[in-house]
Amino acid sequence: MIGFPHLRRALLAVALGLPGPAALAQQQDCALTVRTHGFLSRAQARCGFTRYAPSMQESARACTRRLSNVSGQEYLRAGSEDFDRNERERGRERLCAELLESFPDMVGR
């Protein structure tokens, strides 16, 4: 489950370009980055966002190469499912508004 605190941490790490202290931490960071990308990609499509930060897209692309093909797809799918669950719980309009307010540097209209 990816909540806004986890999303904020992942986005902050991407924005600051913080490397993990070890290979395991890097893999965990990559898993979270790819999952966050799945979440934001679904948000872009469902919320009608016309802007999605290239830095996040580039980080997700690099991380996908580091992860196995199967696990990369699993994390991407999990992020999309996280969006779907949040959309059901909050409603699309509210969720999209919260994302715009919380992450103006990552997504926009």
DSSP string, 83-106: HHHHHHHH-HHHHHHHHHHH-TTT
pTM for this entry? 0.76
Tokens of 91: 């409603």
Per-residue tens of pLDDT for the chain, all 109 residues: 455 666 666 665 555 555 444 444 466 788 999 999 999 999 999 999 999 999 999 999 999 888 888 888 999 999 999 999 999 999 999 999 999 999 899 999 9
Residue 55's nearest CA partner among 40, 67, 74 is 40
CA distances in angstroms from 25 to 22, 65, 66, 68, listed in the order given: 5, 16, 12, 16
Note whether 48 and 54 are within 8 A (CB): no
Q: What is the pLDDT of residue 55?
A: 92
